[in-house]
Amino acid sequence: MRMLSFGPGLALALLTFGAACQAMSIRELRTLEANEKDGKLYANYYLVGVVEGLREAGDMAQRAGQKPPFCINGRRLEPAMARSLYQTELTRNADSYEADMPVQLVISAALRNSYRCAP
**How confident is the model at residue 60, as a pLDDT?**
95
Question: Is there a domain that residue 53 lies in?
Answer: yes
**How confident is the model at residue 43, as a pLDDT?**
96
Question: Is there a domain that residue 6 lies in?
Answer: no
Q: What span, in angstroms and rounded, lies between the C-alpha atoms of 50 and 17?
A: 19
Q: What span, in angstroms and rounded, lies between the C-alpha atoms of 70 and 55?
A: 8
Question: Is there a domain that residue 87 lies in?
Answer: yes
- CA nearest neighbour of 51 among 31, 76, 30, 74: 76
Q: What span, in angstroms and rounded, lies between the C-alpha atoms of 106 and 12?
A: 32
**How confident is the model at residue 116, as a pLDDT?**
95
Q: Which sign does the torsion angle of CA 80, 86, 91, 92 carry?
A: positive
**How confident is the model at residue 15, as a pLDDT?**
44
Question: Is there a domain that residue 8 lies in?
Answer: no
99 touches 27 (CB < 8 A):
yes
**How confident is the model at residue 53, as a pLDDT?**
96
**How confident is the model at residue 85, as a pLDDT?**
97
Question: Is there a domain that residue 2 lies in?
Answer: no
Burial class (CB in 10 A: 0-12, 13-18, 19+), 37: exposed
**How confident is the model at residue 19, as a pLDDT?**
44
Q: What is the domain extent for residue 65?
A: 24-114
- pTM value is 0.79
Mean pLDDT by groups of 10 residues along the chain of 119 residues: 45 44 90 92 96 95 94 92 97 96 97 92
**How confident is the model at residue 36, as a pLDDT?**
85
Q: What span, in angstroms and rounded, lies between the C-alpha atoms of 8 and 39?
A: 39
Question: Is there a domain that residue 1 lies in?
Answer: no
Question: Is there a domain that residue 4 lies in?
Answer: no
Give the count of domains, the chain.
1
**How confident is the model at residue 118, as a pLDDT?**
85
46 touches 83 (CB < 8 A):
no
**How confident is the model at residue 11, as a pLDDT?**
43
